[in-house]
Amino acid sequence: MVVPLKVDGAFHSYLMNPASVKLSKELETTPISKSNIPIVANISARYVTEPDEIKTSLAKQLNSPVRWHQSICMLIRDGFDKFYEIGPGKSLSGLMKRIDPTQEIKNIDTTETLRNLIKSN
């Protein structure tokens, strides 16, 4: 599924190749441990836990298509039912609502919002 987005740059395209190469080189010397919690790689819509997989995914996400729809569908299929968008804006929440409007999505855009969420759980 392809969803054209209005963005200010050529993110996730071949125009980001130089940045991807530079990030890959930086990640070679960056210590990353095996993740105890699976991370969804948005370039493959698969879980990654190994340091090499994480580093490769991070570098490739700059110049590869985002598999957002597939990633979210996988998480829902695997039983996830609460989603949080952290940071300003609600772009990802909007995309999420298009995929499955029944899912619970919360926006955390301030430290106060984060504190309130922590207190409520």
Q: Read off the pTM.
A: 0.80
Domain count, the chain: 2
Does residue 70 belong to any structural domain of this protein?
Answer: no
Assess whether 60 and 28 both reside in one domain: yes
Assess whether 91 and 60 both reside in one domain: no
Res. 70: pLDDT tops 90: yes
C-alpha angle with apex 63: 33 to 6, nearest 5 degrees? 120
Res. 59: pLDDT tops 80: yes
Does residue 76 belong to any structural domain of this protein?
Answer: no
The enclosing H or E element of 40 equals strand 39-41
Does residue 73 belong to any structural domain of this protein?
Answer: no
Q: Determine the structural domain holding residue 57 and report its residue range.
A: 9-65
> Please, which pLDDT band fits residue 4 given cuts at 50, 70 and 90?
low
Does residue 4 belong to any structural domain of this protein?
Answer: no
